[in-house]
Amino acid sequence: MASDVKARVKVPKSATAGGTITIKTLISHKMESGQRKDGDGNVIPRSIINRFTCEFNGQLVIDVVLEPAISTNPYFEFEATVPEAGEFTFTWYDDDGDVYTETKAISVS
Amino acid sequence: MKRTTTLVSVLALAAWTAGPTLAGPDDHQLVINDEIQIITEAAAPAHMDGIDTIYSGWRFRADETQALELDDFENPGMIGVENAMAIWETVDGSEGKSCASCHESAESSMKGVRAVYPKWNEAAGEVRTLEMQINDCRTTRMGAEKWKWSGGDMVDMTALISSVSRGMPVNVAIDGPAQSTWEKGKEIYYTRFGQLELSCANCHEDNYGNMIRADHLSQGQINGFPSYRLKTAKLGSVHNRFKGCVRDTRAETFADGSPEFVALELYVASRGNGLSVEGPSVRN
């Protein structure tokens, strides 16, 4: 597992039904591109988050493919409409097979 | 036909002159998390001759860079603060102590500390920076290994200590026993170094607001340190920044933690007396 990986998500606690909210996510990850060499000239193997998804009550909100040029600690900010109360599930897929998940509940007023 | 040509050239000239003019700091206000008011502009302290108004480096950065500091969630430097919060609670060394064993909550015990450092230490008989004080704690109280001056743990810890004082005015003492160190720092500030024969003042006092190639020169204030640089994608210490500047004059630099840089840090910090503690800041 890549070291020091920590996912962070910021979602409002409540929204109006059908309203739009802003979601912010950040995962600390070194995003090693696979292009660099160490002091001895050996290639440092690629190790990045290669996919990020967000689902709301099982329905896909966003699905992102990440490439090696994306810098360290990838940050995503996007909008979502909230039709009903429920739960957002955020998933990050690591090159090494690890999957990091965060969930956030939201109520509707 | 001739008229059209003239008109076109007049328009071209107008478009050229209407481009972004970067003659000085902008007039934006910095409020972090909608609650912490940061003073980014203040009257210069009495000891400064060359400048009337002091500005945080934040005021010289592009809008996009500035925006990263408005919300802790978007400030990449806060990742370092979070790391340091974990270290704060972690026992290290032969005495079986963590930072929290003596200092309890960093939020209350470290509030205001960043604002007065570097500071004269009576027992040691020297001016100490935060890094020196942290390493003194680690070696004499915790029985732990020293941290490297600009190493990851050290910079993260200074970021944590800065973050709890954000909004408080920098107020380092320059008189009394600290005065000789301060004088030494001032001398270094105005001494030309390197093949390019540049002093700190040549850029940061005489030419702040102007462009140095692609960079918008600030006053070189250090109220925002440690600072997350987008260029290196990590937090950097003040001395790391000093080294970069001295190197750019094509000089041999002083080392991290050298007496010269400690003196310079005290002097440069005193030039920011009145600005808010802002670290961890975000710069390009």
Task: Write out B99-118 in H/E/C secondary structure.
Answer: HHHHHCCHHHHCCCHHHHCC
CATH assignment at residue A26: 2.60.40.10
Res A13 pLDDT > 60: yes
- Mark whether B99 is an active-site residue: no
- The number of distinct structural domains making up chain A is 1
The percentage of chain B sitting over the pLDDT mark of 70, rounded to a whole number, equals 92
Verify whether the Cβ–Cβ distance A72 to B233 is below 8 Å: yes
CA distance A34 to chain B (A): 17
Query: Mean pLDDT for chain B?
Result: 91
The two tokens of residue A17 are: 């039904």
Q: Do A24 and B83 touch (CB under 8 A)?
A: no
Residues in chain A: 109
**Residues sharing a CB contact under 8 Å with residue B193, sequence separation 6 or more, in sequence order:** B199, B246, B249, B251
The per-residue pLDDT for B22 is: 58
* Residue A1 located in a structural domain: no
pLDDT, position B106: 95
Average pLDDT over residues B140-144: 95
Q: What is the mean pLDDT of residues A97-109?
A: 93
* Dihedral angle computed from the Cα positions of residues B47, B48, B49 and B52, in that order, rounded to the nearest 10 degrees: -130
A33 CB neighbours in chain B (<8 A) are: none
Does the predicted interface ipTM exceed a cut of 0.95? Answer: no
Q: What pLDDT does residue B7 have?
A: 45
Residue A43 belongs to some domain of the structure: yes
pLDDT digits (tens, 9 = 90+) for B238-276: 999 999 999 999 999 999 999 999 999 999 999 999 999
Q: Whose structure tokens read 């040029």?
A: A69
Catalytic residue among B99, B200, B203, B245: B245
Asked whether the predicted pLDDT for residue A37 surpasses 50, the reply is yes
Is residue A21 over pLDDT 90? yes
Give the end-to-end CA distance of chain A in Å, rounded to a whole number: 40
A39 in any annotated domain: yes
Residues A14 and A109: beta-carbon distance below 8 Å: yes
pLDDT higher than threshold 90 for residue B13: no
pLDDT at B19: 43
> What's the whole-number mean pLDDT along residues A55-74?
93
- State residue B246's pLDDT score: 96
| CA-closest candidate to residue B72, choices B143, B139, B163 | B163
For residue A21, is it within any domain? Answer: yes
Instruction: Tell me what pLDDT residue B211 has.
Output: 93
Residue from the list B82, B83, B233 with its beta carbon closest to the beta carbon of A71: B233
- Picking from A10, A78, A104 by the largest number of B CB atoms within 10 A of its own CB, the best residue to mutate is A10
CB A75 within 8 A of CB A41: no
Whether the per-residue pLDDT at B15 is higher than 50: the answer is: no
Q: Which residues of A touch B75 (CB under 8 A)?
A: none
Q: CA of A61 to nearest chain B CA: how many angstroms apart?
A: 21
A55 in a structural domain = yes
pLDDT at B23: 73
Q: Look up residue B264 and give its amino acid.
A: L
Under the banding of pLDDT at 50, 70 and 90, the label for residue B1 is: very low
Identify the domain containing residue A78 by its residue range. Answer: 6-108
